């Protein structure tokens, strides 16, 4: 595995490449062209400039998170063909620049959903949190307003103000889309992009829906083992793979994370590792990465990744806000750095034990 950190790019991130370079064991970043819109073609020049910036800081671009998919592709309407062509062109340009992993999602309207961005914990740290009661009590159009005040001045992925201004219109676009239609549109998209992925050896890594159930009545498909395996066999190409995000699949306590990892051997191209602490099945918060602070057995998760021979990029996921840091919720430097070292500690122990056998 290659330990990485997500980085939104100069001008978009409070964390610098210089700081990332100083986290022990972190050799790469997962980045994006944050100011591009879904459906836009990423030029080779901009990709190259981004790569050069990262490389001159002594790091590598380990992959992209995300190249976002236009809603017309997800709904299978409007200008779908044009946007798929553009997506292929972006993949072509990324491939030519040697970038081999692309994370994306197929969530309608909202990307991930949390109901609090700064829940205070007993130690004074703040974390992202979710309660179903809060979602049930709010109309979707108010969702953005309810959390906007806690964004620390950042623009959060999937929660861009211009997108939120169109929430009503977006809901309208999805009104006839159920899980099956969304699934069919995903398969159509994948079949179209696989040739360019084969050509450049680009691993597509779909991010799960977060939380792993329907919110606001919208369809959700990338939520459990059965659905992902269905997607893998519908487009049975190794470049059709997943981002294994423990914090997203883990929102549903019925998902057995180590078992899912083992079932996805060879198809996990990227891993997001974080822990959640549950107060009830639908009330959880994003704890520190340590097993002792949350509900998941992080050792068993890392062990499963080790056992399947996972060798892709991995990153600590959302961190707590600690030590007075002001950053995009979940994406500060300090707690993610702690997460990166903890995960590497687990990995080292597993590796040494394994080799000593
Ligand atoms: C949240 C992230 C997601 C993820 C996208 C992938 O912090 O894990 O926004 O990047 O869903 O496209």
Instruction: Determine the distance separating the centroid of ligand 1 and the alpha carbon of 243, expressed in angstroms.
Output: 10
Catalytic-residue membership of 279? no
Percent of the chain with pLDDT over 70: 100
Average pLDDT over the chain, rounded to an integer: 96
Give CA 301 to chain center in angstroms: 17
Residue 191: partners with Cβ closer than 8 Å, 6 or more residues away: 235
Task: Report how far residue 303's alpha carbon sits from residue 308's, in angstroms, rounded to the nearest whole number.
Answer: 9
Phi-psi region of 131 (alpha: psi -120 to 50; beta: other; left: phi over 0): beta
Task: Report how far residue 218's alpha carbon sits from residue 203's, in angstroms, rounded to the nearest whole number.
Answer: 27
Query: What pLDDT, in 10s, does the model give residues 200-239?
Result: 999 999 999 999 999 999 999 999 999 999 999 999 999 9
Residue 26: partners with Cβ closer than 8 Å, 6 or more residues away: 3, 4, 5, 20, 59, 337, 340
Ligand 1 atom nearest residue 331's Cα: 7
Task: Report how far residue 271's alpha carbon sits from residue 250's, in angstroms, rounded to the nearest whole number.
Answer: 13
Ligand 1 atom nearest residue 245's Cα: 8
Instruction: Determine the distance separating the centroid of ligand 1 and the alpha carbon of 148, expressed in angstroms.
Output: 17
Give pLDDT, residue 297. 98
Instruction: Determine the distance separating the centroid of ligand 1 and the alpha carbon of 207, expressed in angstroms.
Output: 7
| pTM confidence score | 0.97
Give pLDDT, residue 44. 98
Mutation probe of ligand 1 site: the residue of 6, 90, 111 with most atoms within 8 A of C-beta: 111
Q: Burial, 66: exposed, middle or buried (Cβ in 10 Å; 0-12, 13-18, 19+)?
A: buried
Residue nearest to atom 9 of ligand 1 (CA): 157
Specify the higher pLDDT residue, 165 or 269. Answer: 269
Give pLDDT, residue 357. 86
Query: What pLDDT, in 10s, does the model give residues 28-79?
Result: 999 999 999 999 999 999 999 999 999 999 999 999 999 999 999 999 999 9
CA nearest neighbour of 339 among 301, 306, 309:
301
Ligand 1 atom nearest residue 6's Cα: 10
Instruction: Determine the distance separating the centroid of ligand 1 and the alpha carbon of 353, expressed in angstroms.
Output: 33
User: Does 307 score more than 90 pLDDT?
Assistant: yes
Give pLDDT, residue 125. 98
Give pLDDT, residue 95. 98
CB atoms within 10 A of CB 307: 14
Min mean pLDDT across 46-50, 110-114, 316-320 is at 110-114
Mutation probe of ligand 1 site: the residue of 38, 65, 209 with most atoms within 8 A of C-beta: 65
Residues 78-82 have a mean pLDDT of 97
Give pLDDT, residue 147. 83
Percent of the chain with pLDDT over 90: 89
Catalytic-residue membership of 210? no
**Residue 102 DSSP SS3:** strand
Give pLDDT, residue 347. 98
Residue nearest to atom 1 of ligand 1 (CA): 112
Give pLDDT, residue 295. 98
Phi-psi region of 330 (alpha: psi -120 to 50; beta: other; left: phi over 0): left
Give pLDDT, residue 167. 87
Catalytic-residue membership of 334? no
Query: What pLDDT, in 10s, does the model give residues 132-182?
Result: 999 999 888 888 888 888 888 888 888 888 888 888 889 999 999 999 999
For residue 205, what is the enclosing H or E element? strand 203-207
Catalytic-residue membership of 272? yes
CA nearest neighbour of 13 among 62, 53, 45:
53
Residue nearest to atom 2 of ligand 1 (CA): 112
Give pLDDT, residue 312. 98
Q: Residues lining ligand 1, CB < 6 A? A: 65-66, 103-105, 111-112, 157-158, 207, 272, 330
């Amino acid at each position: 595995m290659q330990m990485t950190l997500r980085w939104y790019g100069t001008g978009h991130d409070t964390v610098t490449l210089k700081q990332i370079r100083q986290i022990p064991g972190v050799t790469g970043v997962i980045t994006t062209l944050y100011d591009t819109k879904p459906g836009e073609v990423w030029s080779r020049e901009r990709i190259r400039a981004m790569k050069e910036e990262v490389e001159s800081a002594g790091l590598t671009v380990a992959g992209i998170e995300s190249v976002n998919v236009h809603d017309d592709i997800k709904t299978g309407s409007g200008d779908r063909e044009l946007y798929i062509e553009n997506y292929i062109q972006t993949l072509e340009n990324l491939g030519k620049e040697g970038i081999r992993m692309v994370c994306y999602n197929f969530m309608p309207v909202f990307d991930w959903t949390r109901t609090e961005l700064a829940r205070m914990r007993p130690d004074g740290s703040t974390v992202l949190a979710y309660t179903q009661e809060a979602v049930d009590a709010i109309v979707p159009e108010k969702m953005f307003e309810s959390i906007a005040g806690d964004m620390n001045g950042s623009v959060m992925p999937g929660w861009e103000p211009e997108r939120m201004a169109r929430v009503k219109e977006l809901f309208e676009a999805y009104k006839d889309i159920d899980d099956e239609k969304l699934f069919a549109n995903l398969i159509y998209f994948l079949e179209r992009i696989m040739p360019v992925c084969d050509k450049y050896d680009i691993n597509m890594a779909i991010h799960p829906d977060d939380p792993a159930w329907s919110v606001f009545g919208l369809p959700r498909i990338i939520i459990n083992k059965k659905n992902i395996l269905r997607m893998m066999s519908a487009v049975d190409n190794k470049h059709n793979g997943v981002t294994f995000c423990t914090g997203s699949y883990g929102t549903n306590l019925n998902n057995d994370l180590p078992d899912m990892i083992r079932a996805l051997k060879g198809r996990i191209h990227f891993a997001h590792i974080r822990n959640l602490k549950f107060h009830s099945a639908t009330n959880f918060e994003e704890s520190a990465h340590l097993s002792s602070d949350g509900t998941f057995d992080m050792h068993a998760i890392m062990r499963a990744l080790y056992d399947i021979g996972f060798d892709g990029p991995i990153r600590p996921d959302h961190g707590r806000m600690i030590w007075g840091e002001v950053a995009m919720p979940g994406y500060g430097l300090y707690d993610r750095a702690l997460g990166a070292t903890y995960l590497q500690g687990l990995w080292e122990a597993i590796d040494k034990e394994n080799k000593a056998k």
